[in-house]
Chains A and B, each alone.
Chain A
Amino acid sequence: MIDEMYIFHSMKINITKVLTIIIISSIIGLLYNYINPTGLLLVSKNKELKWATDSILTFQKISGDTLKVKPLTIAELTNKIDDRKLLKGNDIHKEKNEPAKKDSNENAGFGEPLAINLEQAYKLYQMDVLFIDAREIEEVNLGRIKHSLSLPYREFDKYKTILSKIPKTQTIVCYCGPDCELSKSLANKLFTLGYHSIYVYTGGWDQWKNAGYPIE
C-alpha cells in the first residue's frame, strides 16, 4: 500500500507542461491543416447516406432501358469478366488493361451514392443491376450474392482494372458485411471515378443470406 502511494506521488506530472504540449500541438495541427491543400474542413459534413426512395428505383429501371449505352446485365458482365480468376487473385495484372470508354453522355445519376434496404436491393437484383462486393477476398470466398463481382475496397488499386470493363452508366449496388463501411467507401470512390448511379445496400451479406435470396 505504501509502495502504491509512493508510485502515484512520485509521478508528479506537471499539468501546465501537459497543457502546453497539447495546446502547441493543436495550434500546429490547425495551422498545417490551413495551409495543406488536402486539409479538412473544421466541421465535417454529415457523411450519412441519404436513403433512396422506391420511385427512384423505378426511374432507374426505365432510364436504364432508354440509355443510349445500355447497362450491361450481370450475365453479360460475367461473360466478359473472368471474375472467378479475380476472386482467386490470379493474374489480374496480366489482363490487358483496356482504357475505359469515354462516355460523353450524361449519367443518369442522383448526385451522390444512395442507401437502400433489403427489399430495394432485391428489387434491383431482379432488374439485373450489377452488385459489387467490397469485402476482402477471404470473406467473399466464404459466400457472396449470386453473380456479384468482387472489388475489395482495401485493395482497390490492385483490382481496379475490372472497372475498365464496366461502363460509367452502369447502375451499381455496393455491399459488404453487416455493420461495415467498405461498401460506403467503395461507393464514394466509384462516384468520384464517374459512376453516378450508385447504391449502397446497407444490410449487407448477412442480411441477404438470412433472407434466403440467391447466393453462391
Chain B
Amino acid sequence: MYIPADGTNGKMQVTLLNKMKKLISNKYFLLLVRIILSLVFIFAGIEKITNPAGFSDSIGYYKLFPSLLVNLSAIIIPWIELITGILLLLGISVKENAAIITTLLIIFTLAIIISLIRGLNIDCGCFGTAFGEKIGLLKVTENILLIICGVMLAVFDPDYLSI
C-alpha cells in the first residue's frame, strides 16, 4: 500500500472516519435503522408466538441447550423480541432495548456458528417456522449486520421521532 511520507494518508483516514461517524450518527439514518431492526424483531416475535411448538423444535435442533430450558426459552424469547421490538419502534428506552436485541442476536449468531462448525443441517428458526430458512453463512452475515445496527442504536441513542 502506498503511504505518503507527509502523512496525508493518515489525514484521509481521519476524514473518512469522521464522515462515517457523521453518517451513522445522522438522525434520519438512525431512525431508518431503528425502524428496520424493530420491524424484524416484531415479525420474528409474532411468528414464534403463533407457533411455540415449532420454535421449541427449532431450539432443540441446535442441541446446545439442556432439554429443561428448551420450552422455557421458546415461551419467553419471542415475547422479549416482540416487546423490545415495539418499544424500539416507539423510541422508548432505545439504548436498553437495542442492548437486549444485540445480546439476543449475538447469542443466536454464536449458536448458528457453532452448529455450522458441527456440520448440522438444520432450520434456523430465526422467524419461527416461516420461510423454512436453513442456517448458513448468509444467515450469519444477516445477523452480523443486525448486530451492527443494534450497537449503533445502543451507542447513539437516537431520540428522533421518539415518544
Q: Does the CB pair A181–B61 fall under 8 Å?
A: yes
With A33-B75, A181-B122 known as contacts, the answer to whether A44 contacts B67 (CB < 8 A) is yes
* B35-50 interface (Cβ within 8 A of A): 49
A3 to B101, CA, bound (A): 24
A109 to B60, CA, bound (A): 26
With A30-B76, A40-B53 known as contacts, the answer to whether A13 contacts B68 (CB < 8 A) is no
Partner-contacting stretch, out of B3-11, B77-85, B106-114, B136-144 = B77-85
- Chief secondary structure at chain B's binding surface: helix
What range describes how many residues of B lie at the interface?
35 or more
With A22-B100, A179-B119 known as contacts, the answer to whether A10 contacts B155 (CB < 8 A) is yes
Q: Does the CB pair A46–B67 fall under 8 Å?
A: yes
The distance from the CB of B118 to the nearest CB of chain A, in whole angstroms, is 8
Q: Which of A18, A40, A178, A180 sits near B71, CB closer than 8 Å?
A: A40
Binding site for B on A (CB under 8 A): 7, 10-14, 17-18, 21-22, 24-26, 28-30, 32-33, 36, 38-47, 154, 177-181, 185
Q: Does the CB pair A44–B79 fall under 8 Å?
A: no
Q: Which residues of A contact B122 (CB under 8 A)?
A: 179-181
* B45-103 interface (Cβ within 8 A of A): 49, 52-53, 56-57, 60-61, 67-68, 70-72, 74-80, 82-84, 87, 93, 95-97, 99-100
With A17-B96, A21-B93, A25-B83 known as contacts, the answer to whether A40 contacts B56 (CB < 8 A) is yes
Q: Does the CB pair A41–B83 fall under 8 Å?
A: no
Q: Which of B60, B79, B84, B99 sits near A26, CB closer than 8 Å?
A: B79
The distance from the CB of B88 to the nearest CB of chain A, in whole angstroms, is 10
* B100-134 interface (Cβ within 8 A of A): 100, 118-123, 132
A204 to B81, CA, bound (A): 35
A42 to B83, CA, bound (A): 21
The distance from the CB of A175 to the nearest CB of chain B, in whole angstroms, is 13
- For B68, the closest partner residue in chain A by CB is A43
A153 to B123, CA, bound (A): 12
